[in-house]
Structure 1
């Protein structure tokens, strides 16, 4: 039998490894579709998912907003942070179709520009869209009407490049002005009426459009949609919603304002709430809450947020607070919750249920529209 030297063994091993790696590369190259498409030097766009926009990648990284983080740090109610931006994108889809446009995080309004806009108007800041400080702190001060704003860009292909084809500007208006009379002192609250909020928003909208059109790269005839959002109070269990929109096709001129009927309500409804919105959902949730409380008495409470668009329910988020200590109790409870939810909660919209203690998340149950079962995720 012929003996192979150590050097010979190494040659054979290396050859096998090269063939194996080459085979894996060929196998993966034929199985895995590319996640991006290149449009121009350093700029790529993602593949389109059903009902979603393609998005922009630059130099291998997601292109983040030029004013990133302002909304997250300025909104007084954390529920408004996500709802404001996600609802704005849903609204944009009615204006800029996902199969015709590419989404890009706002690139034209810088953080400094946005902060100057959100500040009070003063001798040193002519751009401020909030009113001058009248120096009063007795409930008659000039409130901060505009809490934050965000920009979303919609691009079209122009040969191998991307071209700005439309913009959406979301403006979050306060329903309650919070302020302090002195640093680190108590927080005071001043309600803002619906009529004052709506009137002030329409007053400063042309100024916002003018500032956007002044930015390099924004033409005078690119369509700009401006959408007004009503923040919820900082202690509310439900987020706010968009209430009005308009479009500027050229310059600072705006078309007639269109009402948007987005609303989120907390269940169970308060006895003082005489509106008919959510009555059926409230009855179903009350039955659900009673059912699980009777089966498992260690429930500290249960609430839900029902989201409506134009009077129609679009989703429900439920929170159940427990006092369980053993994993077997949690396992049994979540199974029963899923069965009760199928019986009493709406089946024609997405439903998400969180089971938690005061300090710990225990389980998440989710069900998509018309699904027959819940997906349960138990957390150790």
Structure 2
């Protein structure tokens, strides 16, 4: 925690220093109607991260995602995952990040309504329940949300310009519906291929609407399809396909598949797909249980790209009787990490009580040393 605090403090202190290849860190952001003075920090927390224009401006459609995407882990991953994939086309060394400023709440809600099937609820209310349910089953709502992110470049006279836009399109894997007022909710799984076909059609319609917006006609558009998980899933869904539409183009030429996923450990899926990782995490939990009676189990989340583990996050919920026990437990976990977990992926282990995170252990891929933070 001390390292992070120092870096953040340094970043704030250096806001008045030079950004690379520029005379100062003030830029003028032209939003078509007025010119505003903004600041771009000259340093980043890491080389992989975008610098962000300050003061920070939230998305014009900020409230929509919470209304449309039911699972909070999907909300987080949809936003973070889109920024991660955007780095492949919008260089963090050269561009600045800003939340979407073109699509408003009303525009996004209107697009979601227009691009999903229409159901006459007055008619379904007069049907028997199963007949009404069949109408909904035959007309699933595939589209949940449209997320916009902007990427800016420094232009002449210290004015930042729009360099490109990323669009995430959230698609349902499970269609949850209530056929009649007061009736039970029904759930129907949406097959992956069906979702993909519908998602690509929706993406083309989204592209056409974006091109009609002033300022977006002649910029590159990166579009990615996101498959949501079910509403109660402890792990998020993932992006499944992406495409880059060159500036000025009005049609999508081709799609590139994305092979990534989040997997819960321990779970039947984790055991079936990634047995070695499942066994390491299970053994890790067993070692802890043999020495600490208040331990109730570990919960792990693995992030895989092309079936290779990239990041493993583990939470250990446990109750402590005092600060010395926290230190002792953390020391023990530190030793287990060194002995049991390979270092080819990023690892984060959080030790939690009912009230807070008690300690945090992290190790970056390729490193041998585990960083330990005891938070009290």
Q: TM-score range by the shorter chain?
A: 0.7 to 0.9
Write out per-residue CA displacement over residues 259-316 of structure 1, whole angstroms, 9 at most, x where no aligned residue.
Answer: 01111111123179643xx332222212211111112132212120100112221111
Match of 1:16 in 2: none
Structure 2 counterpart of 1:201, from 195, 199, 202: 199
Match of 1:293 in 2: 289
Match of 1:129 in 2: 115
Matched, 1:90 2:84: yes
SS of 2:137's equivalent in the other structure is coil
SS of 2:70's equivalent in the other structure is coil
Distance 1:70 1:265 in 2: 27
How far is 1:185 from its partner? 5.8
More displaced stretch, 41-50 vs 102-111: 41-50
Q: Aligned in 2, Cα 1:351/1:69: closer, same or farther, shift over 3 Å?
A: farther
Distance 2:180 2:61 in 1: 29
Match of 2:175 in 1: 177
Match of 2:41 in 1: 46
Match of 1:110 in 2: 104
Matched, 1:70 2:64: yes
Distance 2:175 2:250 in 1: 28
How far is 1:317 from its partner? 0.9
Distance 2:43 2:253 in 1: 32
Ranges in structure 2 where 5+ consecutive residues have no aligned partner = 1-9, 20-24, 29-34, 125-131
Match of 2:208 in 1: 210
Distance 2:184 2:37 in 1: 49
Alignment of 1:274-285 (within 5 A): 274-275=272-273, 278-285=274-281
Distance 2:298 2:182 in 1: 34
Distance 1:110 1:32 in 2: 34
Matched, 1:344 2:337: no
How far is 1:359 from its partner? 5.6
Match of 2:151 in 1: 154
Query: Do the aligned partners of 1:281 and 1:345 also contact (CA within 8 Å) in 2?
Result: no
Matched, 1:79 2:73: yes
How far is 1:183 from its partner? 5.4
- Structure 1 or 2, whichever has the larger Rg, is 1
How far is 1:179 from its partner? 2.4
How far is 1:159 from its partner? 0.6
Write out per-residue CA displacement over residues 75-129 of structure 1, whole angstroms, 9 at most, x where no aligned residue.
Answer: 221111111111111100001111232222211111110111122xxxxxxxx11
Query: Do the aligned partners of 2:264 and 2:270 also contact (CA within 8 Å) in 1?
Result: no
RMSD (Å), alpha carbons: 2.5
Match of 1:223 in 2: 220
Alignment of 1:317-336 (within 5 A): 317-336=313-332
SS of 1:340's equivalent in the other structure is helix
Write out per-residue CA displacement over residues 124-147 of structure 1, whole angstroms, 9 at most, x where no aligned residue.
Answer: xxxx11122264324724222111
Q: Aligned in 2, Cα 1:182/1:344: closer, same or farther, shift over 3 Å?
A: farther
Distance 1:193 1:324 in 2: 45
TM-score, structure 1 normalization: 0.81
How far is 1:234 from its partner? 1.6
SS of 1:215's equivalent in the other structure is coil
Query: Do the aligned partners of 2:271 and 2:278 also contact (CA within 8 Å) in 1?
Result: no
Structure 2 counterpart of 1:372, from 365, 368, 374: 368
Ranges in structure 1 where 5+ consecutive residues have no aligned partner = 1-27, 120-127
Write out per-residue CA displacement over residues 312-358 of structure 1, whole angstroms, 9 at most, x where no aligned residue.
Answer: 21111111222434433333222211221222223222212222345
Alignment of 1:354-365 (within 5 A): 354-358=350-354, 360-365=356-361
Distance 2:37 2:195 in 1: 41
Q: Aligned in 2, Cα 1:379/1:48: closer, same or farther, shift over 3 Å?
A: closer
